[in-house]
Every structure is written in C-alpha cells, then in structure tokens.
Structure 1
C-alpha cells in the first residue's frame, strides 16, 4: 500500500493528514514532507494518523527526526488519532512519553 499525504495550513498550524502505510518504502516521502514543516521557527504541526493502519520502525525514525527538529527550531508537533496498532509502537518503545499524542485511540481494522 502507498502513503497519501495531504498538507494544509490554517493560521500558524500545518495540518498533515496521512493515510496508508508508513514503512521503509514510504518513510522517505513522509520525511521529505514533515521535516521542512518542523523547521519553520515557531510553527505547530498536527499530524493526523487515524488512517494509518501500519507503521514500522522506519516510520518511528521519521517522527523522532521531526521531534528533534522541533527542539532545534522551537516548533511543535502533535500526533492525533493514532490507530491502536500504531499507538502500541509508541507505547512499547517509550515514545508516548516524549511525543504529544492527542485524542482517543482508535481500534484497528
């Protein structure tokens, strides 16, 4: 499956709506889209993950890179509506403690 990325801007908030899978094949596309948004000083990036049904460690790496970028550029990233399977990755790796994750956890397919 592919990854679809829809980016829009509402005031100072970039909204990134994702659907599909984040894996070794699609992660570079996500990284190329996400990192420049976090490199805008003072910006906020909302990433909607409710339509992501699979993510591997490569995807986690993209989000870790984005988080590091927010520290460097004084921006923020917020992960919204994670599917249960995706949330579990953040949970078992301890990353749910370092990322701001919002909204309810949704069940898988």
Structure 2
C-alpha cells in the first residue's frame, strides 16, 4: 500500500491511498493521519479510489483516524471510495459514519 499526502487548503490535507488496506497497511494509515494532524491539518480527507481491497483492519484504521481527527478538533472524511470499499462500509453500516464524497475537493465544500 502506498500513501501520499497533499495540503489542498489551509488546514485541509488529502491522503491518497493506493493498494490493499489491510492489517499490514492499517498502522501506516494511522501514522499518515497523525502526521497530517501534527503538521496543523485538522481536516483530513482520505482518498480511496485506488484501494483495491479493504478488510476489517482497514476499516478499524479509518475509524481510529476519524477519532484522532475529532480529538484534535477536526474531522476526517473519505473521498471517491472504490466499489470494494463502499461494499465493506455498507456491510458494516459504517457508511453512515464515514460518508463518501465524490472527490477530495467536495469533502469540505460545505
């Protein structure tokens, strides 16, 4: 799994994930989010269009990252979830908590 982080607006960081979001990658995602929060981005977008697989460890990492962002006074949103990610979110009923936005730019448009 690879991650890249980009600041798209003051306080808004986009973390683009590509590959398999599983147990091996979950810790790395949490580290990426923590780094973005430590660098002053309180609003995080995790872009998931290139995630080919996500298991319960990946789902748990997203929820943990959401909790970290909220504890830091911000929020975490997901953008462009792949079909596989959407299926996992729906099966776990977490699609109500981690609502998918069409693009990273749309995530904090409100």
TM-score interval w.r.t. the shorter chain? Answer: 0.7 to 0.9
Q: When the two structures are aligned, how many residues end up with a matched partner?
A: 102
Instruction: Name the residue aligned to 2:25.
Output: 26
Q: CA deviation at 1:102?
A: 0.6
Relative to 1, partners in 2 of residues 1:98 and 1:30: Cα closer, same or farther, differing over 3 Å?
A: same
2:44–2:69 Cα contact (<8 Å) kept: no
Equivalent-residue separation in structure 2 for 1:85 and 1:100 (angstroms): 15
Instruction: Name the residue aligned to 1:6.
Output: 4
Instruction: Name the residue aligned to 1:50.
Output: 49
1:18–1:51 Cα contact (<8 Å) kept: yes
Deviations for 1:29-77, whole angstroms, at most 9, x for unmatched residues? 1111113434667721111100001011100111110111122121111
Relative to 1, partners in 2 of residues 1:40 and 1:99: Cα closer, same or farther, differing over 3 Å?
A: farther
SS of match in other structure, 1:99: coil
Structure 2: stretches of 5+ with no match in the other structure: 104-110
1:15–1:46 Cα contact (<8 Å) kept: yes
Equivalent-residue separation in structure 2 for 1:70 and 1:27 (angstroms): 16
Greater helix fraction, Structure 1 or Structure 2: 2
Q: Give the structure-2-normalised TM-score.
A: 0.82
Q: Give the structure-1-normalised TM-score.
A: 0.83
Backbone CA RMSD of aligned residues: 1.9
Q: CA deviation at 1:100?
A: 3.0
> Segments of 4+ in structure 1 off by > 4 A?
38-42
